[in-house]
Amino acid sequence: MVRPAIQLYTLRGLDASLTETLHRVADTAYEGVEFAGLGEQTPEAVADALAETGLEAVGAHVSLETLRTEYDETVEAYRTVGCERIVVPTYGEEGFASVAAVEATAEELSSLADRLREDGFEAHYHNHAYEFAAVDGGSETAYDAFAARTDDRLGLEFDVGLARHGGVDPTAYLDRYADRISLVHLTDTVPGNDDTLHVELGEGVVDLPACARAAVDADAAWVVHENGLTTDPAATLASSTDRVAALLDET
Protein backbone atom coordinates (compact mmCIF):
# COMPACT_ATOMS: atom_id res chain seq x y z
CA MET A 1 0.00 0.00 0.00
CA VAL A 2 1.40 3.36 -1.05
CA ARG A 3 1.57 5.88 1.78
CA PRO A 4 1.84 9.69 1.68
CA ALA A 5 4.86 11.70 2.84
CA ILE A 6 6.32 15.16 2.42
CA GLN A 7 9.87 16.29 1.68
CA LEU A 8 10.69 18.67 4.51
CA TYR A 9 12.61 21.01 2.19
CA THR A 10 9.13 22.17 1.18
CA LEU A 11 8.55 23.48 4.71
CA ARG A 12 11.91 25.11 5.38
CA GLY A 13 10.25 28.55 5.27
CA LEU A 14 8.02 27.86 8.26
CA ASP A 15 8.78 29.88 11.36
CA ALA A 16 9.37 26.69 13.31
CA SER A 17 12.15 24.36 14.38
CA LEU A 18 12.44 20.98 12.73
CA THR A 19 10.83 19.23 15.69
CA GLU A 20 8.00 21.77 15.70
CA THR A 21 7.57 21.22 11.97
CA LEU A 22 7.26 17.48 12.54
CA HIS A 23 4.41 18.10 14.96
CA ARG A 24 2.68 20.28 12.37
CA VAL A 25 3.03 17.58 9.72
CA ALA A 26 1.59 15.05 12.15
CA ASP A 27 -1.64 17.07 12.26
CA THR A 28 -2.20 16.33 8.55
CA ALA A 29 -2.82 13.15 6.58
CA TYR A 30 0.88 12.73 5.85
CA GLU A 31 2.29 9.60 7.44
CA GLY A 32 5.98 10.12 6.74
CA VAL A 33 8.65 12.73 6.19
CA GLU A 34 11.74 12.89 4.03
CA PHE A 35 14.58 14.89 5.49
CA ALA A 36 16.80 17.48 3.82
CA GLY A 37 19.19 17.89 6.74
CA LEU A 38 18.49 18.15 10.44
CA GLY A 39 19.12 21.86 10.86
CA GLU A 40 20.13 22.77 14.39
CA GLN A 41 18.33 19.81 15.95
CA THR A 42 20.20 16.87 17.42
CA PRO A 43 19.47 13.44 15.95
CA GLU A 44 18.17 12.39 19.36
CA ALA A 45 15.67 15.25 19.46
CA VAL A 46 14.45 14.40 15.97
CA ALA A 47 14.10 10.73 16.88
CA ASP A 48 12.07 11.71 19.94
CA ALA A 49 9.79 13.92 17.83
CA LEU A 50 9.19 11.10 15.37
CA ALA A 51 8.29 8.78 18.24
CA GLU A 52 5.95 11.38 19.73
CA THR A 53 4.15 12.06 16.45
CA GLY A 54 4.12 8.58 14.94
CA LEU A 55 5.60 9.89 11.70
CA GLU A 56 7.97 7.62 9.81
CA ALA A 57 11.36 8.67 8.48
CA VAL A 58 10.91 7.85 4.80
CA GLY A 59 14.40 8.87 3.73
CA ALA A 60 16.95 11.66 3.78
CA HIS A 61 18.36 13.72 0.93
CA VAL A 62 22.10 13.99 1.50
CA SER A 63 24.40 15.71 -0.96
CA LEU A 64 27.05 13.64 -2.64
CA GLU A 65 29.72 16.01 -1.33
CA THR A 66 28.54 15.41 2.23
CA LEU A 67 28.66 11.67 1.70
CA ARG A 68 32.15 11.99 0.27
CA THR A 69 33.52 14.09 3.12
CA GLU A 70 31.30 13.46 6.17
CA TYR A 71 30.15 9.90 5.62
CA ASP A 72 30.61 8.52 9.13
CA GLU A 73 28.92 11.45 10.88
CA THR A 74 26.04 11.39 8.42
CA VAL A 75 25.21 7.71 8.72
CA GLU A 76 25.51 7.84 12.49
CA ALA A 77 23.10 10.79 12.66
CA TYR A 78 20.48 9.12 10.50
CA ARG A 79 20.92 5.81 12.28
CA THR A 80 20.00 7.63 15.49
CA VAL A 81 17.01 9.24 13.78
CA GLY A 82 15.86 5.83 12.55
CA CYS A 83 16.08 6.72 8.86
CA GLU A 84 17.26 3.83 6.71
CA ARG A 85 17.15 5.36 3.21
CA ILE A 86 19.82 7.77 2.02
CA VAL A 87 18.96 9.58 -1.20
CA VAL A 88 21.51 11.36 -3.38
CA PRO A 89 19.38 14.29 -4.56
CA THR A 90 21.49 15.15 -7.61
CA TYR A 91 24.78 14.26 -9.20
CA GLY A 92 25.01 17.27 -11.45
CA GLU A 93 24.39 17.58 -15.15
CA GLU A 94 28.03 16.83 -15.93
CA GLY A 95 27.57 13.31 -14.56
CA PHE A 96 25.05 12.53 -17.31
CA ALA A 97 26.54 14.48 -20.22
CA SER A 98 27.90 11.44 -22.10
CA VAL A 99 27.98 7.67 -21.90
CA ALA A 100 31.47 7.87 -20.42
CA ALA A 101 30.24 10.30 -17.77
CA VAL A 102 27.26 8.07 -17.00
CA GLU A 103 29.57 5.09 -16.56
CA ALA A 104 31.69 7.01 -14.04
CA THR A 105 28.58 8.22 -12.20
CA ALA A 106 27.15 4.71 -12.08
CA GLU A 107 30.42 3.34 -10.73
CA GLU A 108 30.64 5.89 -7.93
CA LEU A 109 27.01 5.56 -6.87
CA SER A 110 27.15 1.76 -6.98
CA SER A 111 30.19 1.82 -4.71
CA LEU A 112 28.38 4.20 -2.39
CA ALA A 113 25.34 1.92 -2.37
CA ASP A 114 27.53 -1.02 -1.38
CA ARG A 115 29.07 0.96 1.46
CA LEU A 116 25.69 2.14 2.72
CA ARG A 117 24.29 -1.38 2.54
CA GLU A 118 27.15 -2.66 4.68
CA ASP A 119 26.19 -0.02 7.23
CA GLY A 120 22.51 -0.97 7.21
CA PHE A 121 21.13 1.66 4.82
CA GLU A 122 19.47 1.70 1.41
CA ALA A 123 20.89 4.03 -1.24
CA HIS A 124 18.68 5.82 -3.76
CA TYR A 125 19.21 8.34 -6.55
CA HIS A 126 16.75 11.20 -7.19
CA ASN A 127 16.44 12.39 -10.77
CA HIS A 128 16.17 15.89 -12.15
CA ALA A 129 15.29 16.76 -15.75
CA TYR A 130 18.71 16.62 -17.38
CA GLU A 131 19.00 12.83 -17.10
CA PHE A 132 16.34 12.44 -19.79
CA ALA A 133 18.36 14.00 -22.60
CA ALA A 134 19.76 11.65 -25.22
CA VAL A 135 23.47 10.92 -24.85
CA ASP A 136 26.20 10.88 -27.48
CA GLY A 137 23.79 11.62 -30.32
CA GLY A 138 21.85 8.40 -29.89
CA SER A 139 18.28 7.61 -28.91
CA GLU A 140 19.04 6.33 -25.40
CA THR A 141 18.46 8.76 -22.56
CA ALA A 142 21.14 9.29 -19.95
CA TYR A 143 18.69 7.95 -17.36
CA ASP A 144 18.23 4.67 -19.22
CA ALA A 145 21.99 4.40 -19.70
CA PHE A 146 22.46 4.97 -15.98
CA ALA A 147 19.81 2.42 -15.01
CA ALA A 148 21.42 -0.15 -17.30
CA ARG A 149 24.79 0.38 -15.60
CA THR A 150 23.47 0.07 -12.05
CA ASP A 151 21.34 -2.58 -10.39
CA ASP A 152 18.89 -2.98 -7.55
CA ARG A 153 21.55 -2.20 -4.96
CA LEU A 154 20.76 1.40 -5.91
CA GLY A 155 17.13 2.42 -5.67
CA LEU A 156 15.61 5.04 -7.95
CA GLU A 157 13.60 7.80 -6.30
CA PHE A 158 11.56 8.89 -9.28
CA ASP A 159 10.47 12.53 -9.50
CA VAL A 160 7.51 12.65 -11.87
CA GLY A 161 7.42 16.43 -12.30
CA LEU A 162 11.08 16.72 -13.16
CA ALA A 163 10.84 13.75 -15.52
CA ARG A 164 7.92 15.46 -17.27
CA HIS A 165 10.01 18.62 -17.44
CA GLY A 166 12.72 16.51 -19.06
CA GLY A 167 10.35 15.59 -21.87
CA VAL A 168 9.37 12.03 -21.01
CA ASP A 169 6.22 10.28 -19.84
CA PRO A 170 6.71 9.65 -16.11
CA THR A 171 4.26 6.75 -16.07
CA ALA A 172 6.30 4.86 -18.65
CA TYR A 173 9.39 5.15 -16.46
CA LEU A 174 7.52 4.16 -13.32
CA ASP A 175 6.45 1.02 -15.15
CA ARG A 176 9.88 0.37 -16.68
CA TYR A 177 11.77 0.55 -13.39
CA ALA A 178 9.05 -0.53 -10.98
CA ASP A 179 11.29 -3.12 -9.34
CA ARG A 180 13.74 -0.38 -8.30
CA ILE A 181 11.33 2.36 -7.24
CA SER A 182 10.08 2.45 -3.68
CA LEU A 183 9.96 6.25 -3.41
CA VAL A 184 8.07 8.46 -5.87
CA HIS A 185 8.37 12.24 -5.74
CA LEU A 186 4.90 13.51 -6.58
CA THR A 187 5.58 16.99 -7.95
CA ASP A 188 3.92 19.29 -10.44
CA THR A 189 5.75 21.52 -12.88
CA VAL A 190 5.25 24.05 -15.64
CA PRO A 191 7.59 24.90 -18.52
CA GLY A 192 10.29 27.24 -17.29
CA ASN A 193 13.71 27.31 -15.69
CA ASP A 194 14.76 25.76 -12.42
CA ASP A 195 13.74 28.88 -10.48
CA THR A 196 10.13 28.83 -11.67
CA LEU A 197 9.14 25.34 -12.69
CA HIS A 198 7.63 23.92 -9.48
CA VAL A 199 4.00 24.75 -8.73
CA GLU A 200 1.28 23.53 -6.40
CA LEU A 201 -0.24 20.15 -7.17
CA GLY A 202 -2.84 20.48 -9.89
CA GLU A 203 -1.53 23.79 -11.24
CA GLY A 204 1.00 22.34 -13.67
CA VAL A 205 1.20 20.03 -16.66
CA VAL A 206 1.81 16.71 -14.89
CA ASP A 207 -0.92 14.08 -15.17
CA LEU A 208 -1.05 13.52 -11.43
CA PRO A 209 -3.85 10.90 -11.37
CA ALA A 210 -1.96 8.79 -13.92
CA CYS A 211 1.26 9.14 -11.94
CA ALA A 212 -0.46 8.17 -8.71
CA ARG A 213 -1.92 5.08 -10.38
CA ALA A 214 1.49 4.21 -11.81
CA ALA A 215 3.07 4.55 -8.36
CA VAL A 216 0.50 2.14 -6.97
CA ASP A 217 1.02 -0.26 -9.88
CA ALA A 218 4.78 -0.09 -9.27
CA ASP A 219 4.13 -1.11 -5.66
CA ALA A 220 6.03 1.91 -4.38
CA ALA A 221 6.16 2.28 -0.62
CA TRP A 222 5.74 6.06 -0.49
CA VAL A 223 4.70 9.02 -2.61
CA VAL A 224 6.59 12.06 -1.38
CA HIS A 225 5.34 15.53 -2.19
CA GLU A 226 7.82 18.35 -2.70
CA ASN A 227 7.46 21.96 -3.75
CA GLY A 228 10.78 23.63 -3.10
CA LEU A 229 9.59 26.93 -4.57
CA THR A 230 6.50 27.54 -2.45
CA THR A 231 6.21 31.01 -0.97
CA ASP A 232 3.60 29.89 1.56
CA PRO A 233 4.71 26.60 3.10
CA ALA A 234 1.85 26.49 5.59
CA ALA A 235 -0.69 26.71 2.77
CA THR A 236 1.24 24.15 0.73
CA LEU A 237 1.23 21.75 3.67
CA ALA A 238 -2.52 22.11 4.10
CA SER A 239 -3.50 21.88 0.44
CA SER A 240 -1.04 19.21 -0.62
CA THR A 241 -1.99 16.72 2.06
CA ASP A 242 -5.60 16.81 0.88
CA ARG A 243 -4.57 16.56 -2.77
CA VAL A 244 -2.19 13.64 -2.23
CA ALA A 245 -4.77 11.80 -0.14
CA ALA A 246 -7.39 12.30 -2.85
CA LEU A 247 -5.04 11.10 -5.58
CA LEU A 248 -4.25 7.92 -3.68
CA ASP A 249 -7.92 7.34 -2.85
CA GLU A 250 -8.75 7.53 -6.56
CA THR A 251 -6.30 4.81 -7.61
Domain boundaries, the chain: 3-249
The neighbour count for residue 51, using CB atoms within 10 Å, is 10
The CATH number corresponding to 3-249 among 3.40.50.2000, 3.40.50.720, 3.40.50.300, 3.20.20.150 equals 3.20.20.150
Type and span of the H or E element at 184: strand 183-186
Q: Are the CB atoms for 78 and 120 separated by under 8 Å?
A: no
At residue 122, the 3 state secondary structure works out as: strand
**Residue of 217, 231, 167, 229 whose CA lies nearest to 2:** 217
pLDDT by 10s per residue, the chain, length 251: 999 999 999 999 999 999 999 999 999 999 999 999 999 999 999 999 999 999 999 999 999 999 999 999 999 999 999 999 999 999 999 999 999 999 999 999 999 999 999 999 999 999 999 999 999 999 999 999 999 999 999 999 999 999 999 999 999 999 999 999 999 999 999 988 776 689 999 999 999 999 999 999 999 999 999 999 999 999 999 999 999 999 999 98
